[in-house]
Structure 1
Amino acid sequence: MLQAVPQRCLGPSVLARVDIVSESLIDIKTLISDITYRTLDETAKAEKIEKLLKESVSKTFYLLEGFVQDFFFLGEKITYADLQLFDVVKNGLSNYAAFSLEMFPKLTALVAKVETNANVAAYLAKHLKE
């Protein structure tokens, strides 16, 4: 069962850690949105995708790889940051052929753990069309 961690049980440094992850992923999502919706020229789009993957994603994911504790960013409890990473990877970055999580084994495992969570899997089965 998906159990969110109540914020009242966490200290400020733990909450800050989750916020750092979340804000970092928002930065990546913003770049993806710019490429997808605002960049019309295919040459410019290809250049932005290359820069996104080689610079922004690699630097951010290198940092986030170090934030993973056990299964998730806060250990054994799933947080919104874990769901956010899953969304960015599955619904954003996976659209780019050059994208791979291979260099980030902890993030790869985290995404797989979120995807196989009973509640997430049920939601995906109900709402995603293949």
Structure 2
Amino acid sequence: MTDTWNRLGPAGKAGVIGVAAAVVGGVIAVAHARASTTATDDEAEESGGVLAEVARILNQAAEEQDDSASLSSPPPRPPCTGDVRGYWRFQCLNPRGHTTGNCRHEWRWVDDYTKGAADDEEEEDAEV
């Protein structure tokens, strides 16, 4: 088995992993569908208690995730400020034609600048 795996190229390994993921996803989907259609807990225990329990845990986790996502949002990131040294940029001269290959690129120099300085100046003007 190991020799067969080692002989597979990257595409072959990706294919095997994809098939395995599809099989596991199918099993989970079937378990969820079965658990959703059961009428009572007694019937779930009789027909397949393990599958019903897995579906119950998945549903509970999804509800908790929905609740936690609605209650909190990530804190805002602080603005990125500071001096930026000059650099060369390979600039596309026709962005609309970029996806079709109908564009031309050119190396352009970007001068030194201070990132976030415009926001600071606006705040100082507002205070005065």
Does TM-score exceed 0.5, indicating one fold? no
Q: TM-score, normalised by structure 1?
A: 0.29
Larger radius of gyration: 2
Indicate the structure with greater helix content: 1
Higher relative contact order (Cα pairs below 8 Å, separated by 6+ residues): 1
Relative to its length, the structure with more strand (as a share) is 2
Instruction: Tell me the TM-score normalized by structure 2.
Output: 0.29
